[in-house]
Structure 1
Amino acid sequence: MRDLAAAYARTVPGLDAHSLMEGLDGISLTFMPMGDRDGAYDPEHRVIMINSSVRPERQRFTLAHEISHALLLGDDDLLSDIHDEYEGDRLEQVIETLCNVGAAAILMPDDLIADVLRRFGPTGRALAELARRADVSASSALYTLAEQTRDPVIYAVCAVTRLDGEDGEGPRKELTVRASSGAPGVKYVPGQDTVIPSDHPAAVTLDTGLPADEDSYVPFRSGRRMPARVNAFAERGRVLVSFHLRDDKAGRPEADGALSDSAALPT
C-alpha cells in the first residue's frame, strides 16, 4: 500500500487538493458538511467527499486517505490478498489502516522525512517541522516519523488538559500526552492522558517557550520513569517531545523500575 500510494504521489504535479486529484481519471471532488465524518469515497458515483467544516490539515489528510481507498480498489491483486486474509469488521479495520498508511506515503514522502531527520535529528523540533512542511497534524506526522526513526526514540504530542480534582478539589489543568509512538524496537510508550510532571523539561518548555534538550525521563501513568534524553519544542500551545532512550532500556519494561503499566505500541 505504501509503494502504491508513493508511486501515485510521484505522478501528480503538487500536493494541494486539486493537484492530488489529477491522477484519478473520472473521479470528482466535493466539499460538503458531513457531520461527524471526515470524508468518504463513493466508487459507484466516482466522487470523493470531504467534510467542509473540519480543519484544513485534517481535510488534506482525509483527501489523501480517500485517494488511497480509490487506489486500493483499483489494485485487484492487493484487494484480493486482503479479502483472502480478513473478513467482517477486521477486514474494514485493515482497509482503514492501509488507507492511513497510503495517506502518509502521499503527504510525507521518504525524501521529506529523510531531510527533516538529517537537519534536526530525532527531536521534538523534527516532529514540528515534518507537520509544518507536510501540512498535516502533529499526530499524523508523529506516527510516520516514528516509523522512519532508527534510534530508540519515543515521540509524543503533549497539550494542556482539564482534569477532575481529587478529594473535592476543583478541576485542574495538567500537561498530558495526547498521542505517542515509538521507533521500531521500542516496545512501550506513555499512554494517552499520561500527566507530565510540572518540573519535567516538557512542562518547563510549555511554561517558558524555550526548547529543552537534557537528560531526564519518560513518565508513565504508574508514576514510574524511564531514563531518556528529552528534547522538547513548544508550538501553538502544545509541546512536541522526543525521548531518546538508552539502547539497553528500549525494550525492557522493568529497566530502572519503569513501564509496568505503560501502553504498548499499536499493531
Structure 2
Amino acid sequence: MSARPVSAVPVKIFEAHKARMRDLARNYARGLKGRDMEAFAEHLGAKLVYMDLGERDGAFDPDHNVILVNSSVTRERQRFTVAHEVSHALLLGDEDLLSDLHDAFDGDDLENAIETLCNVGASAILVPDELLRACVERHGATGQVIADIARKAEVSAQVALYALADFVRTPAIFAVCGAPGGALVVQASAATSSMRYSLSSGTPIPSGHPIDTAYRTGLAIEEASFFPFRSGKRMPALVSAYPLRGRVYAAFEER
C-alpha cells in the first residue's frame, strides 16, 4: 500500500471512543493488586480457565464471568489476551460507549471497532502511563523507547508501540522492522492521532535507509531521512533506528 491518509471513518468519533476506552482501562488498572494475569481477572471477579482453543487466543463469557485462555500460546500472549478480554468486559459494562459504537458502525466494521478498542484497553492495562512517561522522558520518542517499554512492561514490541502511539501527541509513526523472509520490512507500526499518514506492514525498507543501516551494522542511528512509503514518495522525516536481536525499532517524526 502506498502513502495514504489514515482512514477517516469517522476519525473524530472513533478517537473519542478510544479515549473513553483508555479511561476505562486506566481506572481499572489503578485498582489492581498486581501485574499478573490472575490479578487482572481477580479485580473483575472473573475466573481464568486455560484450555487448548486452537487458533483462538481467548474469549470472555459474561454469563459465567469466565475468561478462557489458550493454554498452548506463550505467557506474553496469554497476558495480553487476559487484558484484552477484561477490556471486553469493561466495554460491555459501559452502555453509553457500546450504544455509540452501534450508532457509528455496523456489521464487520462494528466488530473491528470493538476489537480495536479492546486492544487499546489491553495496552492501557498492560502499559501504565507512569511507565510510558518515564521511558519517554529518558529516551524521547525514539526507536529505543519502544524496546525499553516492551522490556519493563513485559509486553511484545507491538503492544509497546501501540501504547506509545496512543501516549505521544506529536505527529509520529513507530515501527518494528525485521527480515523474517530475508528482506527487511515493516513488521508492525502505529501512528499517533495527529499523524496524517500510516505505514503498512510488509512495507520494504530501501537499501541505505537509516533502518537498513542500523540493521546491517548493529548501531543505533538518528538522522534526517524519509518515510519509506511503498509508492516511492520520499517525505522528509527524522528517523531514529535502534537495532536489537535481529530487529530494528524505529520512530519517524515529520520534518
Runs of 4+ aligned structure 1 residues displaced above 4 Å come to none
- In the alignment, what sits opposite 2:34? 14
- In the alignment, what sits opposite 1:261? none
User: C-alpha separation between the residues in 1 aligned to 2:110 and 2:224?
Assistant: 43
- Give me the TM-score of the superposition, normalised by structure 2: 0.85
User: C-alpha separation between the residues in 1 aligned to 2:105 and 2:173?
Assistant: 31
Provide, for residues 110-159 of structure 1, a one-character-per-residue CA deviation record: whole Å limited to 9, x for no partner.
22211111111000001111111222211122122122223332211101
User: C-alpha separation between the residues in 2 aligned to 1:126 and 1:108?
Assistant: 13
User: C-alpha separation between the residues in 2 aligned to 1:5 and 1:20?
Assistant: 11
CA separation of 1:220/1:81 partners in 2, compared to 1, >3 Å: closer, same or farther?
closer
- In the alignment, what sits opposite 1:193? 202
- In the alignment, what sits opposite 2:222? 213
Identify the match of residue 174 of structure 2 among 155, 162, 177.
155
- In the alignment, what sits opposite 2:18? none
The percent of aligned pairs where both chains have the same amino acid is 54
Identify the match of residue 58 of structure 2 among 39, 43, 63.
39
Identify the match of residue 145 of structure 1 among 157, 164, 170.
164
User: C-alpha separation between the residues in 2 aligned to 1:53 and 1:190?
Assistant: 31
Alpha-carbon shift at residue 34 of structure 1 (Å): 1.0
Provide, for residues 2-23 of structure 1, a one-character-per-residue CA deviation record: whole Å limited to 9, x for no partner.
2111111111111111121221
Could you say what secondary structure the match of 1:63 adopts? helix
User: C-alpha separation between the residues in 2 aligned to 1:89 and 1:140?
Assistant: 23
Higher relative contact order (CA 8 A, sep 6+): 2
Q: Which has the higher strand share?
A: 1
Alpha-carbon shift at residue 31 of structure 1 (Å): 1.7
User: C-alpha separation between the residues in 2 aligned to 1:61 and 1:174?
Assistant: 29
Structure 2, unmatched stretches of 5+, are 1-20
Decide which structure has the larger Cα Rg and report it.
1
CA separation of 1:33/1:203 partners in 2, compared to 1, >3 Å: closer, same or farther?
same
CA separation of 1:45/1:148 partners in 2, compared to 1, >3 Å: closer, same or farther?
same
Identify the match of residue 243 of structure 2 among 228, 234, 243.
234
Provide, for residues 151-183 of structure 1, a one-character-per-residue CA deviation record: whole Å limited to 9, x for no partner.
332211101042xxxxxxxxxx21101122222
Alpha-carbon shift at residue 67 of structure 1 (Å): 0.7
User: C-alpha separation between the residues in 2 aligned to 1:231 and 1:86?
Assistant: 37
Where in structure 2 are the equivalents of 1:90-239 lying within 5 Å? 90-162=109-181, 173-239=182-248
- In the alignment, what sits opposite 1:263? none
- In the alignment, what sits opposite 1:5? 25
Partner AA of 2:43 in structure 1? G
- In the alignment, what sits opposite 2:3? none
User: C-alpha separation between the residues in 2 aligned to 1:153 and 1:117?
Assistant: 13
- In the alignment, what sits opposite 1:78? 97
- Give me the TM-score of the superposition, normalised by structure 1: 0.82
Alpha-carbon shift at residue 77 of structure 1 (Å): 3.7
- In the alignment, what sits opposite 1:50? 69
Alpha-carbon shift at residue 85 of structure 1 (Å): 4.3
User: C-alpha separation between the residues in 2 aligned to 1:80 and 1:152?
Assistant: 31
